[in-house]
Structure 1
Amino acid sequence: MECNGVRAVANKEALKWIDERQPDILCLQEIKALEDQIPKDMFEKEYQDIIVNSAIKKGYSGTMTWSILQNSYNSTCLDIDTMGEGRIVETHYDDIVLFNVYFPNGQKDEERLAYKMKFYDDFLDYCEKLRENGKSIIICGDVNTAHKEIDLKNPKANSKTSGFLPIEREWMDKLVNHGYIDTFRYVNGDEIDRYSWWSYRSGARLKNVGWRIDYFFISEDLAENLEDAFILDYIEGSDHCPVGIKLSI
């Protein structure tokens, strides 16, 4: 879940859904906090493995993975996240590798868009090397791009906006063509009006004028293990809502 500040959503009690659903692994993005600022007792469920990757810049970005499973290896992928923005938590569970990623936004300027595209390419290259070594891959997080026209309310009006630029969407095509499955579409087909992010402006959420920019991708070898993929768009407290999958492993 992209939470836009973990302390803020915790104060709003916007994480109560976690106690209700009790996921085995929880991935949060844009936590905007240092490790010592995060309450360890936020949830009823006891997570044995907690990894926090805070940005160098305080109050900015950051990712965090909570798990009932003990990872066999973890990394923050600084060869990809070269600016130290706390954008990746990589955890290995035997032959399965989970990536919790807060991909960069490219709206600031051309330089930032170029950084986003390099981040995309470096990340995919790294995933492919892991697959060559026999690993299965799960990618979750805020990809900061809507893939298809069905994935946002106003595709034509946003055709020149970062987050729906052809070059960004082409990278998502490349991801799929390399054998990564968009789990929500795999399970739910072409359901319309299903979004995970809404602008705070103009009552966008109330009108459901949104974008689906939060995803779970899995490598195709895990397809037979996929039982469900969902968007919890009724849960409020952030400009994003939670997304998730159920895998039988």
Structure 2
Amino acid sequence: MDTFNQLDADFFCVQETKLQLGQIDLKLPDNYYQYWNYADKKGYSGTAIFTKHKPLNASLGIGIDEFDHEGRVITLEYPSFYLITCYTPNSGQQLKRLDFRQNWNKAFLDYINQLSAKKDVIFCGDLNVAHETIDLKNPSSNHHAAGFTDEERNDFTHLLESNFVDTYRHFYPEVTEQYSWWSYRFHSRDRNAGWRIDYFVTSTGLTDQLVDAKIHSEIFGSDHCPVELTANIELDK
């Protein structure tokens, strides 16, 4: 809560909550609304959004049964944009879930394209892909590892080419050694042997309203750290 209060964000988007309905009674300041999406499987996946701004609508999932049992997506609609928190499936050990992941990538892109035809989109979360070689410490030894396969990287390139912007790279196209996830093994965080797999992505139509993007590597408490987007967007019109 110290970090929550210090950041004082309009929106907090959380992934991998690992909770079921009734397992948490989170006391937030009275001016925050809470939205949760739970996986069917206990102790697995899950997402949440906490916001000061009541949306026009809130929806769970992407409308495809194959993908909507793991609590991976919440969408809030506002007058001029949609906000989405997304926990992208991991391809898993030995890439056992790569096919599922690629099917997800296509379905999720179809989903955000449908929304962006109506109004601008902001989505964020653990997208489980390091897009470029500068987005992880050891690209050579991880070339075919989950999160850095050619298939996953190409899918993310295709997404960005569909009129979306990786906001951190928009501001810092060549900055290196900035990561958002570190394995708990091998003292990875102490050595900054990490991956940048957490993103804020926006429609290109919002580019002029972007102010800054940050990676809060100074904040501990998880194997991930928070990432932040600041933008000048009217919430009520």
Same fold (TM over 0.5): yes
Identity %: 38
- Contact 2:181–2:223 (CA<8 Å) still a contact in 1? yes
Counterpart for residue 244 of structure 1:
228
Paired residue for 1:144? 128
More displaced 10-residue stretch of structure 1: 69-78 or 52-61: 69-78
- Show the counterpart of 1:25: 11
Q: Which residue of 1 aligns with 2:22?
A: 36
1: CA distance between counterparts of 2:128 and 2:31?
A: 28
* Secondary structure at the counterpart of residue 165 of structure 2: strand
Q: 1:59 corresponds to which letter in structure 2?
A: G
Query: Is the 2:210–2:232 contact (alpha carbons within 8 Å) kept by the matching residues of 1?
Result: yes
Superposed displacement of residue 21, structure 1: 1.2
Tell me the residue number matched to 1:179.
Answer: 163
CA contact (8 A) 1:204 1:210 kept: yes
Correspondence for 1:98 among 77, 83, 87: 83
Alpha-carbon separation, structure 2, partners of 1:213 and 1:102? 11
Q: Which amino acid aligns with 2:50?
A: W
Aligned partner of residue 43 in structure 2, secondary structure: coil
C-alpha change, 1:140 and 1:93, in structure 2 (3 Å) is same
Per the TM alignment, residue 111 of structure 1 is displaced from its structure 2 partner at its CA by 4.8
Q: TM-score, normalising length from structure 2?
A: 0.93
Q: Distance in 2 between matches of 1:192 and 1:81?
A: 39
Contact 2:178 2:196 in 1 (8 A): yes
RMSD of aligned Cα (Å): 1.4
Q: Deviations over 1:77-130 (max 9, x none)?
A: 253462501000011011300110000000245551111111111011111112
Instruction: Give TM-score, length-normalised by structure 1.
Output: 0.89
Letter in 2 for 1:85: E
1:52 aligns with 2:44: no
Give the letter aligned to residue 12 of structure 2.
L
Aligned residue number for residue 112 of structure 1: 97
What SS does the aligned partner of 1:55 have? Answer: coil
Aligned residue pairs total 232
Query: 1:37, CA displacement in angstroms?
Result: 2.3
Indicate the residue corresponding to 1:75 in structure 2. 59
Q: Is the contact made by 1:145 and 1:168 (CA closer than 8 Å) also made in structure 2?
A: yes
Secondary structure of the corresponding residue to residue 17 of structure 2: coil
1:76 Cα offset (Å): 1.1
Unaligned runs of at least 5 residues, structure 1? 1-14
**Which is bigger in relative contact order (C-alpha 8 A, separation at least 6)?**
1
CA distance in 1, matches of 2:25, 2:31: 12
1:222 aligns with 2:206: yes
Does the Cα contact within 8 Å between 1:198 and 1:208 map onto a contact in 2? yes
CA contact (8 A) 2:95 2:146 kept: no
Residues 199-225 of structure 1 show CA distances to partners (whole Å, capped at 9, x for unaligned) of: 000000000000000000000001111
Residues 47 and 65 (structure 1), Cα distance of their counterparts in 2 relative to 1, 3 Å cut: farther
Cα deviation, 1:179-238, whole Å, max 9, x if unaligned, reads: 111101111221110000000000000000000000000000011111110000011111
Q: Give the one of 74, 84, 88 matched to 2:73.
A: 88
